[in-house]
Amino acid sequence: MSISEKQTIKCPACGEISDLTVWESITVGDSPDLKADLLAGKINIFHCACGQKALFPSPILYTDDEKRLVISFSPQTDNAEKLKLFEEIKKSSEKSGELEIYTDYNLRFVTSYNELLEKILIFDNNLDDKVLEVIKLLVLSQESDKMPQRACIFGKCDGGAIEFLVTDSKENQVYTSRVPRETYDTIEAQLRQSGVKFKSFNWEMIDAEFASSLLRGRNNTL
Ligand SMILES: [Zn+2]
């Protein structure tokens, strides 16, 4: 069920008071329009008449039963806090027994809005983020000296290729990188072979760190 509440917000720039509908839970089956708003970057984003725009720092639980996907989004930029939140959500889900409902689901924990939108798009394209995180790392490592200044996100999947957007913060540039679909299929098969599960049994954080630990642990298999 999609759940929201009204919040009164004071604009940090001009002090104007306005109301914002803050969504705590979005269930795609009941509210496809809310999903469209989320993908358009309109959910929980505060817009002031003065032009100020900011994310209201509140968690969102996103459920897509058709795609068997649940994403728990808790805005957080601090890495230590992020890990703490991740442990908390795992513990409370284990305690409540709710994981049993989600035995054939993918459960994801994310801390940035962009990551939330990226995951939705990935599963909408019938792709898996575990494979894509590995490919993203391989794309970035083509120019390993520039890795610290670059970020790679999933763009789209069309015809025989998957397109990634590589943002370079130092050069102030966005590059596109296309990877053949066969690469995806090969990596997926290799991950399956090495024991990676494509269903969750608990919340998972699937990010660059996940991919690099996979590559570190399985040297020479990819
Ligand atoms: Zn304002």
- What is the chain's mean pLDDT, rounded? 93
Considering the domain boundaries, does residue 200 fall inside one?
yes
Q: Which two tokens stand for residue 114?
A: 């962009």
Q: How far is the CA of 51 from the centre of ligand 1 (A)?
A: 6
Considering the domain boundaries, does residue 193 fall inside one?
yes
Total domains in the chain come to 1
Domain that holds residue 197: 59-217
For residue 175, pLDDT beyond 90: yes
Q: Express each pLDDT in 63-83 by its tens digit.
A: 999 999 999 999 999 999 999
Give CB contacts under 8 A, 24+ apart, made by 189-192.
190/221, 190/222, 191/130, 191/131, 191/134
Considering the domain boundaries, does residue 133 fall inside one?
yes
For residue 220, pLDDT beyond 80: no
Q: How far is the CA of 9 from the centre of ligand 1 (A)?
A: 10
For residue 108, pLDDT beyond 90: yes
Q: How far is the CA of 19 from the centre of ligand 1 (A)?
A: 12
Q: Express each pLDDT in 125-153 by its tens digit.
A: 999 999 999 999 999 999 999 999 999 99
Considering the domain boundaries, does residue 52 fall inside one?
no
Q: How far is the CA of 18 from the centre of ligand 1 (A)?
A: 9
pLDDT of residue 201: 85
Considering the domain boundaries, does residue 21 fall inside one?
no
Considering the domain boundaries, does residue 196 fall inside one?
yes
Considering the domain boundaries, does residue 156 fall inside one?
yes
The DSSP-derived string for 158-203 is ETTEEEEEEEETTTTEEEEEEEEHHHHHHHHHHHHHTT--SS-SS-
For residue 22, pLDDT beyond 70: yes
Residue that has been written with the tokens 């290729």 in this structure = 161
Considering the domain boundaries, does residue 54 fall inside one?
no
pLDDT of residue 216: 84
Question: For the chain, what percent of residues have pLDDT higher than 70?
Answer: 98
